[in-house]
């Protein structure tokens, strides 16, 4: 299945209303290969966005939830999987924007989450907030398209955080994988290295500007 997805990428995305025909905006090859390595039947998984990764989650027999506001994408995925004989019995499609779906979605503890939905601010952060809280300790979080500022900001937070351990970086695919290292997160910003570093950097810059003046 992996080789098929890579060699002949299906075109699940695009919206005629935007003047965009069917095309492949899907998860990169490196991330797909990584998923193929770590996914096992019965694994509990979730993602924002839908595409080639959804097919792979299904093919691997995961109990999977995918959240996408698109109705076209799930229909195209269903048709593709039916053609190839891939069961979607363990896949749940939630057709709603993630900011509406995730706060009300009842998810049991999951093993892996993929953030690859809307990349506009603040959606990657919102997706992270909700999915990270249902991710089990030592579970894996994948953030795709970190070359885009909003996703890159999240990746930088994960890299500097004491509550996460970055275990894999995909330079070509612009993605990062982080392991959740704690049961519960701190709710105090001063205990988070990234916000603290940003605050001190801004304070130093203000002092420098005063001295220069």
H-state helical runs in 123-192: 123-134, 149-160
Q: What pLDDT was estimated at residue 204? A: 46
**Confidence band, pLDDT 50/70/90 cuts, at residue 190:** low
Percent of the chain beyond pLDDT 90? 68
Find all residues with CB under 8 Å of 207, minimum gap 6, and list them: none
- Taking the model in full, what pTM does it have? 0.88
State pLDDT tens for residues 105-140: 988 899 999 999 999 999 999 999 999 999 999 999
CA 192 to centroid of chain Cα atoms: 21
């Amino acid at each position: 299945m992996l080789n098929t997805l890579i060699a002949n990428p299906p075109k699940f995305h695009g919206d005629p209303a935007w003047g965009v025909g069917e095309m492949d905006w899907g998860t990169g090859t490196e991330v797909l290969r990584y998923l193929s390595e770590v996914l096992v039947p019965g694994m509990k998984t979730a993602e924002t966005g839908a595409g080639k990764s959804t097919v792979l989650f299904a093919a691997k027999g995961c109990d999977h939830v995918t959240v996408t506001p698109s109705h076209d994408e799930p229909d195209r995925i269903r048709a593709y999987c039916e053609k190839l004989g891939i069961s979607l019995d363990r896949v749940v499609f939630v057709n709603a924007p993630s900011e509406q779906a995730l706060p009300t979605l009842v998810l049991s503890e999951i093993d892996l989450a993929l953030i690859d939905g809307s990349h506009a601010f603040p959606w990657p952060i919102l997706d992270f907030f909700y999915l990270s809280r249902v991710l089990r300790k030592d579970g894996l979080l994948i953030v795709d398209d970190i070359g885009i500022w909003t996703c890159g900001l999240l990746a930088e937070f994960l890299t500097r955080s004491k509550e996460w351990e970055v275990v894999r970086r995909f330079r070509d695919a612009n993605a990062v994988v982080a392991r959740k290292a704690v049961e519960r997160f701190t709710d105090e910003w001063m205990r988070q290295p990234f916000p603290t570093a940003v605050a001190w950097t801004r304070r130093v810059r203000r002092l420098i500007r005063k001295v220069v003046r």
